Structure 1
Amino acid sequence: MQDLKHLTRKKGISLFRSSQEGSISQTLRPPTGKRRQKLKHLLLFLAIVLALTPVCMLIYHQAPKGAKAISDLIRSRLSPAPQSAEAAKPPTASNFEIASRLLDSATVAGEQFTARTAAGDTLHYTIRGDLQKRVHDFMASNQVPYGVFVAIEPSTGRILAMTSYSAVDPNWSRSAFYDLYPMASLFKIVTASAALEQKRITPETVIEFRGKYTSENPRYWEASPRGKNTRLDLTYAMGKSINPVYGRVAADIAGKGLLLESVRKFGFNQSLLPGTPVKESRAAEPRDTHGLMLMGAGLDHEVKISPLHAAVMMAAIANGGKMMSPGLTEKVTDVAGTARDSHTPREIRQLVSPETAASLTRMLSSTVTSGTSRKAFHDRRGRPRLDVDVAAKTGSINGSDPRGHYSWFAAFAPARNPRIALVSLVINQDKWKIKSSQVGEQALQEFFGK
């Protein structure tokens, strides 16, 4: 009996397991037919969803930025950015620049120079027709290779004449007023100002030196301890343009620091005349004492100035040291005749003190009475061609751009209460035509009614 029960229990268990195993095996059997096809589609769908989920999340987070970018792109296509349009516009030219470009085509009615702009405005120049014509005709009749002239009213800055001529290159004259040329002995004015401003000299100060008046080698300018030196006062030396005297003033009296300060005050190496096309005048720092003496005497070929700047400088000395902004137009009128932009005198800076300006005037007056311009302003019998006192300075140096001998004349008159300041530059080549002092004399003859 026991064996039978045992067998029966085991058999039941065996039957139960067999039934369960059969059910499981039937459940895990791989699907076939349509069921298998549906399962494939379901798995493919789940794989696509899983793959696209990160992309969808990224798009969700970046959607506001993307929408803004698309919106900005559409707006930029429909209407260009105003900043780009502004950047494309060329800078507006000043009245001075426009008037300068149109000066050659200006019409003359009596003494009045006028020109019409592309916009229909009429420019009324400050130019004096008689003075402009006299100087231009004089240079043209003498066929100067290169010649340029500028005259200014010292107290207001009005330009009274601005003309140029070249028998060699007509195109040169277009920018002749604004280009740079070796300053030569006009720089002696800067040298004297450096020492006068600090009261280290007076017009009567005497300087001793060795060598000739026209010496260009600083090695021979030092005074000999043995004596027998040449002794000249600064006024006579200015009129005769004595190189050793002003070379020694630069090195031994003013010194490098004061001379460079005077260079800065006179407007070198800086934008001095905004609104004009003038180039910045140049004067580099001397490397040694030899270079300092050459600069002080006006023998440094790399010290360069424009005729317009030189004229403004002379006008400032004539005006008690006050440098005025140059003006080329008296006013501008539109098509309806309404005037605007009338010339208003404007001070740029105090170039030198009134006391220094007065001392310079005394020193410069000797140029015409007994100095380098005496012949141009006196007839063969020594009689003055003008009944007006003239303060002036000449300069003479060789140059290469353009090639030739540079002759400067800078002046103002009358020496007391000046009404006109002027600068002329003549560049002669193989044969001398005329000197710049002759151009200045013609201009003053016309201005003062002779």
Structure 2
Amino acid sequence: MERLPYAQRMRNRCIAITVLVTIIVAIVHCSTKDDPESAKETTEQQAALAADTLAQAIAPSDTNPFDESYTAEASAKENPNGLSALKGIEDEDFENANNTAAGNAASTTNATAENTDNVRDTVHIKSQKDPILADKIDVLLRRYRPDLGVILVVNTKTNEIIAWGERRDGKVQNKPDWIGRPTFPAASLAKLVTIAAAMESNRYSLNTPIPMIGRHHTLYLNQLRVPEKYNGPTMELSEAFARSANPPLAIVGKNVGAKRLNAAAAKLGYNKRFPGNAPNTSSYTAPDTGYGLAEVACGFTTSTTLTPLLAAAQVRAVLTKKPLEIPWARDMAPFAPQKPLALDVGKFSENTYYGLRESMLRSVTQGTAHKHMSTKNMARKNFEALRLGGKTGSLDGTDPAGRYDWFMGFAEAKNDPSKSIVVIVMQMHREIRSQPATQVAATVINYWAHQNLDLKK
């Protein structure tokens, strides 16, 4: 028999495990209803068993490329035709589809466990520019409990940080220690550099067709070798960005070259030392040639890192068409500047800024952010009143170790573009994944819209 698709196997496995756990709970309940002490002890064991079983249920199989144990050797065995070893994995469409079910199950499991987040310290909430939005962010972090979570909201017009939240070490933090930490892999957010370099080269436009060889989320060497008379499937440049397709953007990166990529990265704030190390230096280095150049161009490497604070600055620069400025806040020293900090990094052409913005808009309308940045997580009146754009990214990292899930984007009122925010959500998951970063971002935007958009009911 032909093997079922991986997503269907995952779904069937989750259903089977859910039924099994339900039966076990029913049996235990019947056998211990006359013994309160035994019932209490068994309930605790049951919660632990449910958590372990769920983790195993959503864990990848031996041949799943999302598994960290899926090595280059294993990949080579499965590809006897001389394909390059798969060196990483990134498919936000797949991530977003599975993270929702995993996140809902994780929320249910966490409700039975001891929750240190129940004790709230609201001092850091009341001190923020928008305490109402800050409170909503705090609630989201306590509800979904990512192993590491950073949420940042910036006023596009003033570049001021209006709300933030951070969770790590098992609890919500009262200081934004990690908004400027430089160890987080940028993943597909690095594709912003490739689009900028392509547009600046004047060799590409948003609708330039790029060869699309193989699957979106892989990066084999044969996917980079385009035959001289290629007549296979193609993908427009902006679509490749929106759908986070690795091979097309890797091909573009190799064609524009390392010099242009590194120059575009510099204008987006990479490799720059900021005053007071707020934020710390994000890293981007494109090698001159080879597979490494292709990896960097599509964000298929952990060597490219990005801080949430710099990600917010990049999105704002695209919206305002101005040189990069680091977001600021009066009460967040030393983690963020206390006043606007303009940087002498130069700016892109008007055409490049237009291309970046349109590509981010397409990510929401047709790309990897489309599913969750929708009326599923936003009130219809808010969704229809806003212009939404962004970029998703996901990749395994090592400091701290886990699966990183990003969303960087913006929301602006269609009838009044001055009402606009930049939203950054960065999460890291270990055994059990939380809600997708895009879903969290949509919820945050919805809260902000309720407060700030004057809409007729």
The one-letter code matched in structure 1 to 2:351 is E
Of 342-351 and 159-168, the range deviating more from structure 2: 342-351
TM-score (norm. length: structure 2)? 0.64
Shift of residue 415, structure 1, vs aligned partner? 8.0
Q: Is the 8 A contact 2:407 2:437 kept in 1?
A: yes
**What is the aligned partner in structure 2 of residue 246 from structure 1?**
249
1:161 to 160, 163, 176: 163
Q: Which structure has the bigger radius of gyration?
A: 1
**What is the aligned partner in structure 1 of residue 149 from structure 2?**
147
Q: Is the 8 A contact 1:365 1:415 kept in 2?
A: no
1:189 to 187, 192, 198: 192
Q: Is residue 234 of structure 2 the alignment partner of residue 231 of structure 1?
A: yes
**What is the aligned partner in structure 2 of residue 403 from structure 1?**
401
Instruction: Write the mapping of 1:422-441 to structure 2, written as runs, cut at 5 A.
Output: 422-441=423-442
Q: d(CA) in 2 for partners of 1:276 and 1:382?
A: 36
**What is the aligned partner in structure 2 of residue 394 from structure 1?**
392
Q: Call closer, same or farther: CA 1:196–1:282 in 2, change over 3 Å.
A: same
Instruction: Write the mapping of 1:40-439 to structure 2, written as runs, cut at 5 A.
Output: 106=123, 113-114=126-127, 125=128, 127-166=129-168, 168=170, 174-180=176-182, 181-225=184-228, 227-252=230-255, 254-272=256-274, 274-275=275-276, 277-286=278-287, 288-329=289-330, 345=340, 347-349=342-344, 350-379=346-375, 386-387=383-384, 388-414=386-412, 417=417, 419-439=420-440
Q: d(CA) in 1 for partners of 2:424 and 2:124?
A: 24
Shift of residue 323, structure 1, vs aligned partner? 2.3
Q: d(CA) in 1 for partners of 2:241 and 2:332?
A: 40
Q: Call closer, same or farther: CA 1:295–1:152 in 2, change over 3 Å.
A: same
Q: Call closer, same or farther: CA 1:300–1:287 in 2, change over 3 Å.
A: farther
Aligned pair count? Answer: 321
For residues 286-330 of structure 1, give each alpha carbon's deviation from its aligned partner in whole angstroms, at most 9, with x where no partner exists. 263211111000112111111111111111111113323422128
TM-score (norm. length: structure 1)? 0.65
SS in structure 1 opposite 2:356? Answer: helix
**What is the aligned partner in structure 1 of residue 450 from structure 2?**
449
Q: d(CA) in 2 for partners of 1:373 and 1:237?
A: 13
Q: Is the 8 A contact 1:157 1:345 kept in 2?
A: yes
Shift of residue 169, structure 1, vs aligned partner? 6.5
Q: Call closer, same or farther: CA 1:227–1:195 in 2, change over 3 Å.
A: closer
Q: Is the 8 A contact 2:309 2:326 kept in 1?
A: no
Q: d(CA) in 2 for partners of 1:246 and 1:397?
A: 17
For residues 192-218 of structure 1, give each alpha carbon's deviation from its aligned partner in whole angstroms, at most 9, with x where no partner exists. 101212322111111013211111224
Q: Call closer, same or farther: CA 1:441–1:347 in 2, change over 3 Å.
A: same
Q: Call closer, same or farther: CA 1:134–1:256 in 2, change over 3 Å.
A: same
For residues 153-192 of structure 1, give each alpha carbon's deviation from its aligned partner in whole angstroms, at most 9, with x where no partner exists. 2232211122111263667975221112000000101111
Shift of residue 275, structure 1, vs aligned partner? 4.0
For residues 337-385 of structure 1, give each alpha carbon's deviation from its aligned partner in whole angstroms, at most 9, with x where no partner exists. xxxxx97655324442333111211111111111111111234699967
Q: Call closer, same or farther: CA 1:147–1:362 in 2, change over 3 Å.
A: same
Q: d(CA) in 1 for partners of 2:234 and 2:174?
A: 43
Q: Call closer, same or farther: CA 1:282–1:382 in 2, change over 3 Å.
A: closer
Q: Call closer, same or farther: CA 1:347–1:199 in 2, change over 3 Å.
A: same
Q: d(CA) in 1 for partners of 2:219 and 2:131?
A: 41
Of 176-185 and 412-421, the range deviating more from structure 2: 412-421
